[in-house]
């Protein structure tokens, strides 16, 4: 901790610079698949961990120390910055975020307060500062994207089809835009605060955006995302945009002022590049393969590494998050394999 020389491989890959090996980290790398996390979770609620810098930093460091990954990601949730703006959210075990006051009308949208991250969420800045003293790999900050945040706000919790969310978008375009504007302000201010506090890269999670068609994305979403990434770009810190099921959106994403596109396994990385995507890429192992026998997992990883490394600017990751049934030893073996196989 701290004494080790700083490993900037991940930051170099974000900038499409030469790297000594392919950097790797895993979305949701801190969480319930780790026995140590489950122990800590017995003592504290999700938001108690989040709001206690010592514990939050410990949970953030755990996968770095346990798996040997090349980046840490701040432990928090995409719902964290919504609490101070007036959203009543609870993280329900084996379900996810549940909201007791979902958005139904323009009054509900207008009721959402503006965010002042330094005073509303001082523990986030404190955790980041502590981690910067402790870590010898880059720290990634993150936030949810307006569409994905709005899906929880409108549906009231996790959803499979996002009918209510998209229904609101089609039926009330002005209210929808007001909601996007408000959430864009939250996401931008919250990420700028994380960067000021010491985050060395930021990822915007738009997990459920794949449910929106390309024409609707252009009309209802792209201007909001362009605004967010334009503001973030001014900091010079690398930015990453993640969504699942987004093959149909990648050409539009390529026009956004974002550095890295994080894609899932439904499209091969060689096919992403064949679309003319010239940004750095992150991904895209199917998380389910973590349950496959090692030889099969290794073949899958090798195939992805070969495709990812056909051009500069590639970061290995899963196509979506680690899940509770994944095994620590499988992830350890995978991380070592990625480093060894790609070493120059
Ligand atoms: O009780 C618990 O411990 C709940 C499990 C848990 C954890 C560990 C939740 C509830 N959130 C988190 C942490 C979390 N959430 C991180 C930590 C940093 C890391 O190690 O990666 C991050 C980046 C998130 C982001 C997040 N939360 C996303 C985007 C990424 C993704 O997986 O798509 C989303 C969609 C959420 C909502 C959420 N929070 C928690 C759950 C179980 C869910 C998903 C619910 C659903 O299926 O809609």
The string of pLDDT tens digits covering residues 269-315 is 999 999 999 999 999 999 999 999 999 999 999 999 999 999 999 99
pLDDT, residue 51, reads 98
Tell me which of 78, 164, 242 to substitute to probe ligand 1's pocket, judged by most ligand atoms within 8 Å of the beta carbon.
78
Tell me the average pLDDT of the chain.
97
Tell me which residue has its CA closest to atom 17 in ligand 1.
Answer: 75
In this model, does residue 2 exceed pLDDT 60? no
CA pair distance 98, 7, nearest whole angstrom: 38
Tell me which residue has its CA closest to atom 33 in ligand 1.
Answer: 207
Q: Which residue has the tokens 């790999």?
A: 137
In this model, does residue 3 exceed pLDDT 80? no
CA pair distance 17, 22, nearest whole angstrom: 11
In this model, does residue 146 exceed pLDDT 60? yes
Q: Say if CB 95 and CB 108 are below 8 A apart.
A: no
pLDDT, residue 30, reads 98
Q: Which residue has the tokens 């010491």?
A: 198
Q: Say if CB 283 and CB 317 are below 8 A apart.
A: yes
The string of pLDDT tens digits covering residues 68-77 is 999 999 999 9
pLDDT, residue 86, reads 96
24 CA distance to ligand 1 middle (Å)? 19
Phi, psi of 59 (to 5 degrees): -65, -35
Q: Which residues are CB-neighbours of 95 under 8 A, at least 6 positions away?
A: 157, 158
Is the peptide bond prior to 318 cis by the omega test (within 30 degrees of 0)? no
CA pair distance 109, 180, nearest whole angstrom: 10
Pairing state between β 89-92 and 96-99: antiparallel
CA pair distance 267, 307, nearest whole angstrom: 12
Q: Is 332 exposed, middle or buried (0-12, 13-18, 19+ CB in 10 A)?
A: middle
CA pair distance 26, 71, nearest whole angstrom: 9
Tell me which residue has its CA closest to atom 10 in ligand 1.
Answer: 96
- What integer is the mean pLDDT of 227-239? 98
Q: Is the CB of 142 under 6 A from ligand 1?
A: yes
- What integer is the mean pLDDT of 255-280? 98
* Atom number in ligand 1 closest to CA 159: 48
CA pair distance 340, 344, nearest whole angstrom: 9
What are the tokens at 39? Answer: 């122990």
The string of pLDDT tens digits covering residues 44-53 is 999 999 999 9
344 CA distance to ligand 1 middle (Å)? 35
28 CA distance to ligand 1 middle (Å)? 7
Specify the 3-state DSSP secondary structure of 68.
Answer: coil
153 CA distance to ligand 1 middle (Å)? 15
Specify the 3-state DSSP secondary structure of 140.
Answer: strand
In this model, does residue 1 exceed pLDDT 70? no
Q: Is the CB of 205 under 6 A from ligand 1?
A: yes
Q: Say if CB 86 and CB 54 are below 8 A apart.
A: no
Tell me which residue has its CA closest to atom 43 in ligand 1.
Answer: 96
pLDDT, residue 246, reads 98
pLDDT band of residue 118 (cuts 50, 70, 90) is very high
Identify whether 32 is a catalytic site residue. yes
DSSP notation for 56-120 = HHHHHHHHHHHH--S-EE----TTGGGTTTT--EEEETTTEEEESS---SHHHHHHSPP--HHHH
pLDDT, residue 4, reads 86
pLDDT, residue 160, reads 96
Q: Which residue has the tokens 């931008």?
A: 188
What are the tokens at 277? Answer: 């995507």
Phi, psi of 319 (to 5 degrees): -80, -15
The string of pLDDT tens digits covering residues 168-184 is 999 999 999 999 999 99
Catalytic residue among 70, 77, 259, 264: 77
pLDDT, residue 106, reads 93
pTM, full prediction: 0.97
């Amino acid at each position: 901790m701290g004494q080790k020389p700083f490993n900037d491989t991940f930051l170099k890959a974000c900038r499409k610079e030469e790297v000594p090996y392919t950097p790797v980290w895993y979305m949701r790398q801190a969480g319930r698949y780790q026995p140590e996390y489950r122990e800590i979770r017995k003592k504290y609620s999700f938001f108690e961990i989040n709001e206690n810098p010592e514990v939050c930093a410990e949970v953030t460091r755990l996968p770095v120390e346990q798996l040997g990954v090349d980046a840490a990601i701040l432990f928090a949730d995409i719902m964290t910055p919504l609490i101070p703006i007036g959203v009543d959210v609870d993280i329900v075990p084996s379900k996810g975020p549940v909201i007791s006051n979902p958005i139904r009308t323009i009054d509900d949208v207008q009721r959402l307060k503006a965010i002042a991250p330094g005073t509303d969420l001082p523990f986030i800045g404190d955790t980041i500062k502590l981690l910067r003293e402790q870590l010898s790999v880059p720290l990634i900050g993150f936030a949810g994207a307006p569409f994905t945040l709005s899906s929880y706000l409108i549906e009231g919790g996790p959803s499979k089809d996002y009918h209510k969310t998209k229904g609101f978008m089609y039926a009330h375009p002005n209210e929808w835009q007001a909601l996007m504007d408000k959430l864009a302000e939250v996401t931008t201010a919250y990420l700028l605060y994380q960067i000021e506090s010491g985050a060395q890269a930021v990822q915007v999670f738009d997990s459920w955006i794949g449910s929106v068609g390309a024409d609707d994305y252009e009309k209802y979403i792209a201007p909001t995302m362009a605004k967010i990434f334009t503001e973030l770009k001014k900091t010079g810190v690398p930015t990453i945009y993640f969504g699942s099921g987004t093959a149909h959106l990648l050409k539009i994403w390529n026009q956004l002022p974002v550095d890295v596109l994080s894609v899932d396994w439904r499209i091969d990385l060689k096919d992403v590049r064949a679309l003319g995507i010239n940004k750095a890429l992150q991904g895209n192992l199917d998380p389910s393969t973590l349950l496959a026998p090692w030889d099969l997992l290794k073949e899958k990883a090798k195939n992805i590494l070969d495709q990812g490394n056909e051009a500069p600017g590639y970061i290995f990751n899963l196509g979506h998050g680690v899940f509770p049934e994944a095994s620590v030893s499988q992830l350890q073996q995978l991380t070592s394999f990625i480093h060894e196989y790609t070493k120059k």
